[in-house]
Amino acid sequence: MLSRTKITPRSRRHEGLANSVSSEVKMYKITTDQMTQIKAVVSKDLKAQEAVFNTLDFNPYDDEGAGGYDSVVMERERYESERKERTGYPLDYGICETDERAEEIKAGAALSEAEEQALNENIFDGDDTLIVITELSDGTDKVLAVTVQQIWGQAGIHVINFIGFFSNDDDAQKAIEAADFVTFDES
């Protein structure tokens, strides 16, 4: 189901991506100096935050599951294009089961919940782009970093977009909702 709400704990599909994923949120360790730099820009614009993020030399493999939360994501423009393509050929993409229903969908009929689920599963199948919340800590303070990460097969996981630093989960969730992405809950 499409989600514009709180991202959920890592799905089983992606458990193998981090060294360990558990219900306990672990922290990505940073130095006190790095935390001071991050806290100085938390309330500033994205450009200032991104400059500090880039100095962290953040490696998704070093978080040992510290992200704790992720969701499959796609840029809104691409999602809308994929959706349009598939609703134009609903039978071919497994959205519905009969020619009659396919014609109704092509004519603009609303999709049932099951058809929406089938459509979105088809759109997001094999898409390994994730939006991830990572808790950063120097052992005393903590902040959240929201990134978009992509799995490049044998080339591994890469951060492809930095959304920002946040002092709390509510602010991180608001930023995710405001970002130009569509998230998909695989459950």
**Residue type for position 161:** N
Q: What is the pLDDT of residue 62?
A: 67
For β-strands 28-29 and 2-3, DSSP reports them as: unpaired
Q: Are 124 and 83 in contact (CB under 8 A)?
A: no
**DSSP three-state, residue 135:** strand
- Alpha-carbon distance of 132 to 163, in angstroms, equals 10
pLDDT of residue 157: 81
Task: Enumerate helices (H) and strands (E) in the chain, giving the number of each.
Answer: 6, 7
Residue 160 has a pLDDT of: 86
Listed by start position, the domains of the chain span 2-74+126-184, 78-123
Please give the pLDDT value at position 23: 30
**Both structure tokens of 63:** 């978080």
- CA gap 90, 88 in Å, rounded: 6
Report mean pLDDT in 10-residue bins for the chain, 187 residues.
40 32 52 95 95 88 57 90 96 95 96 95 87 89 91 78 93 90 77
* CA atoms of 62 and 162, how far apart (whole Å): 17
Instruction: Determine the pLDDT at residue 130.
Output: 86
